[in-house]
């Protein structure tokens, strides 16, 4: 992107190439005789790279707002142009996964809400009166902890490494990412302004890798998520049921969610079982719930079967991740067998987020 006479030239949009990146004409060369933008003549020679397209879109956005006298946009507002498929909620305070996980997430919420709703509406009063008031109270507390941990897992930055196009657009972010990853600042080509891959033999041996999509150096144990389309620190896996990646910053929340969900399923299944057993014997007539036998058996199948499946699946995952925590491995490392640097996964310190969704982009500062 050239600078002439102290102004910023904005690339001219000529069409759309894909859902993620519109096609942009190449920036014009310096000329004293004409200031018009060139037209597209050759597809292979005029289209910019993904990195340049994202930067050009950012230039257009910030230049337009500056020309109107408005402050530069925040990171979450320009994220679709220079970020990934993640979505921001609550004005950038929460970040979650792509839209393709919607139905998986609905399935997870249904498996939690439906059995618990039946438990608290139908069974809790009888258990309070005939068994012990602490049973529905403790079950309610476990239910609340499960919901909170699920929301923290789904709406927390898992450890996203910002793309290079975003790093240069936020003041101080490039140095912060270099410090957090230990890879140093990536040099740029003097002609194309593209990041240049320069990995030392020591970095390569330690597990540092170059990401061709994000144009960043990934530290050991980080990996690129194909679903979210970004690199994540200490990447474990992408979980569509929580609609987010599981990485360094939310792995503890995910593990807590598994253990809490297992306890919740056991409490709800046991409470429903006790209630149905006594109602079948006729000792639940004063419970305040009038249900005939056919309805009870239908509800037992509809509610009990998913709850039993949930318990088995969650306990299996809980045991699996407890095993991973003891071994100091991530899910991806165990499944692929590629381990460069071992270490703790569950009890690691939760590093600050690198995406700074509420910060304003600072490049370019001048209008067209």
Tens digits of residue pLDDT in 139-176: 999 999 999 999 999 999 999 999 998 998 898 999 99
Q: Mean per-residue pLDDT for 260-288? A: 79
**How does residue 339 score in pLDDT terms, banded at 50, 70 and 90?**
confident
pLDDT in tens, 310-320: 889 999 999 99
Residues designated as active site: 239
Pairwise CA distance, residues 216 & 220, whole Å: 13
Alpha-carbon torsion (347, 112, 240, 315), positive or negative: positive
**How does residue 54 score in pLDDT terms, banded at 50, 70 and 90?**
low
Pairwise CA distance, residues 183 & 233, whole Å: 13
Residue 1: is its pLDDT beyond 70? no
The two tokens of residue 365 are 């500062």
**In the chain, where are the structural domains located?**
3-95
Q: Higher confidence at residue 333 or residue 367?
A: 333
**How does residue 26 score in pLDDT terms, banded at 50, 70 and 90?**
very low
pTM value is 0.78
pLDDT of residue 276: 82
Ranking 14-23, 290-299, 346-355 by mean pLDDT, the lowest is: 14-23
pLDDT of residue 67: 54
């Amino acid at each position: 992107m050239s600078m002439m006479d102290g102004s910023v030239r904005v690339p001219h949009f000529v069409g759309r190439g894909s859902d993620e990146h519109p096609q942009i004409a190449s920036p014009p060369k310096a000329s004293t005789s004409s200031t018009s933008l060139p037209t597209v003549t050759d597809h292979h020679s005029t289209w910019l790279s993904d990195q340049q397209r994202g930067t050009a879109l950012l230039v257009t956005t910030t230049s337009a707002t500056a020309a109107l006298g408005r402050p530069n946009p925040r990171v979450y507002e320009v994220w679709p142009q220079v970020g990934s498929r993640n979505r921001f909620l609550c004005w950038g305070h929460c970040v979650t996964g792509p839209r393709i996980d919607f139905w998986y997430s609905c399935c997870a919420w249904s498996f939690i809400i439906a059995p618990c709703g039946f438990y608290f509406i139908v069974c809790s009063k009888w258990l309070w009166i005939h068994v012990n008031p602490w049973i529905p109270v403790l079950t309610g507390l476990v239910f609340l902890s499960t919901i909170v941990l699920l929301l923290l897992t789904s709406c927390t930055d898992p450890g996203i490494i910002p793309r290079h196009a975003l790093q240069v657009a936020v003041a101080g972010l490039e140095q912060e990412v270099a410090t957090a990853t230990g890879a140093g600042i990536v040099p740029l080509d003097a002609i194309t302004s593209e990041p240049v891959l320069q990995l030392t033999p020591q970095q390569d041996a330690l597990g540092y890798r170059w990401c061709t999509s994000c144009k960043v150096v990934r530290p050991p144990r980080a990996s690129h998520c194909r679903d979210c389309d970004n690199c994540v620190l200490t990447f474990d896996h992408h979980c569509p049921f929580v609609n987010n990646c599981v990485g360094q910053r939310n792995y503890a929340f995910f593990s807590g969610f598994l253990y809490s969900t297992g306890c919740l399923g056991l409490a709800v299944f046991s409470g429903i079982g006790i209630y149905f057993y006594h109602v079948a014997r006729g000792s639940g007539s004063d419970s305040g719930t009038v249900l005939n036998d056919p309805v009870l058996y239908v509800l037992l199948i509809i509610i009990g079967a998913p709850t039993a499946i949930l318990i088995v699946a969650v306990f299996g995952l809980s045991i699996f991740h407890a095993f991973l925590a003891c071994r100091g491995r991530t899910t991806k490392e165990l499944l692929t067998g590629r381990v460069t640097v071992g270490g703790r996964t569950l009890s690691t310190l939760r590093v600050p987020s690198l995406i700074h969704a509420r910060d304003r982009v600072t490049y370019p500062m001048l209008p067209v």
